[in-house]
Structure 1
């Protein structure tokens, strides 16, 4: 089971969370978000996948930020279509090819920003409240690496509330997904229950329930959650 900590914002806090070795750290590039990220991402362990969160963003801006920050994954939190994702993947590939060609002709500079050597993972978010039409997922099965199911609410994310997880009992696909939406320490029992199911849950995504204020994560609570759920199983 993987762990993603989303909504990272401040350098010292990023370093503290990174020391816990989560699998993914999420950086939100959306001006309307209270956790909108601007600045420099400190050096992180290579095992951590830097994930950029975007909402209906221009493809050129997504590509630019992937290159600037060396993002390993992108999380699409808006109304992005299958055609949008296909076009984005084509641009990733073109950018990667250009960088390979450039590196043949010039000596690599230390810390040179570039599209990562491995393909950028694509995570498509779908909001759920009390019900969900599973059929909307079918067109995306071939173009994304993972789905992420979050709570549909006033904000695009970070609402701090859970949706009815029983909706996912009818999930018919093998495509793995991230489970998100208001997950906190008080949910250990319900997390254990859903993880014991046959659902292809790839990762748990946590955010606002572990904050003292938007963008600042509570390290001790995150450590407890990680140790109980990810490392040792729920206690």
Structure 2
């Protein structure tokens, strides 16, 4: 079980969080986000996959950020098509993870994920809200009981210290949960993470 800490913004805080050795660290390259990252990512332990989060970005923009920051994963949080994912996969370095996000509220039609199976490495399920992400609310995880695929996925959306027991329960199921993705519930302000809370979360889940 992997841990992804998303929405990082401030260099000093990035280094502090990096010391906790999450498996993935997310940087949002969407200008409308309060967590928009426009700096240079400081040196991080090699085990951490630097993840670029994009919302309906152009291929050129994504490829530019991959090269600039040496990204090892791409998270697509917009309305990207299967065709776009296919082109992206052909043009990105071998071994780079492509994560396609699907937002869930009260219901979800899992049929929409079928055509993405071959063009993505992982899915990510988040809570549908006003913003593409970072809304701080969870969706009803019981919906995932109908998950029809074996493709591993990231579980996201309003996960904090209060959700630890619920996370433990879902990990007991046969669902292919690959990683837990956390963000806003661990913030002092947008983009600035509380390392003590993060450490507690990681320790309690034995990640």
TM-score for both structures, normalised by structure 1: 0.87
The aligned counterpart of 1:210 is: 186
1:227 deviation in Å? 0.6
The aligned counterpart of 1:228 is: 204
Q: Distance in 2 between matches of 1:184 and 1:51?
A: 20
| Large movers: runs of 4+ above 6 Å | none
Q: Could you say what the CA RMSD is over the residues aligned between the two structures, in angstroms?
A: 0.8
TM-score for both structures, normalised by structure 2: 0.98
1:173 deviation in Å? 0.8
Of residues 123, 142, 149 in structure 2, which corresponds to 1:147?
123
- Tell me the number of residue pairs that the alignment of Structure 1 and Structure 2 aligns: 207
Matching of residues 164-179 of structure 1 within 5 Å: 164-179=140-155
Q: Distance in 2 between matches of 1:230 and 1:150?
A: 22
The aligned counterpart of 1:69 is: 69
1:217 deviation in Å? 0.4
The aligned counterpart of 1:160 is: 136
The aligned counterpart of 1:37 is: 37
Q: Distance in 2 between matches of 1:208 and 1:177?
A: 20
Unaligned runs of 5+ in 2: none
Q: Distance in 1 between matches of 2:115 and 2:43?
A: 37
Contact 1:141 1:175 in 2 (8 A): yes
2:91 is the counterpart of 1:91: yes
Q: Distance in 1 between matches of 2:41 and 2:88?
A: 23
Q: Distance in 1 between matches of 2:140 and 2:167?
A: 12
Q: Distance in 2 between matches of 1:127 and 1:161?
A: 12
**The structure with more radius of gyration:** 1
Q: Distance in 2 between matches of 1:157 and 1:182?
A: 9
The aligned counterpart of 2:81 is: 81
Query: For residues 167-193 of structure 1, what are the alpha-carbon distances to aligned partners after superposition, in whole Å with 9 as ceiling and x for unaligned?
Result: 000112110000000000011111111
2:111 is the counterpart of 1:119: no
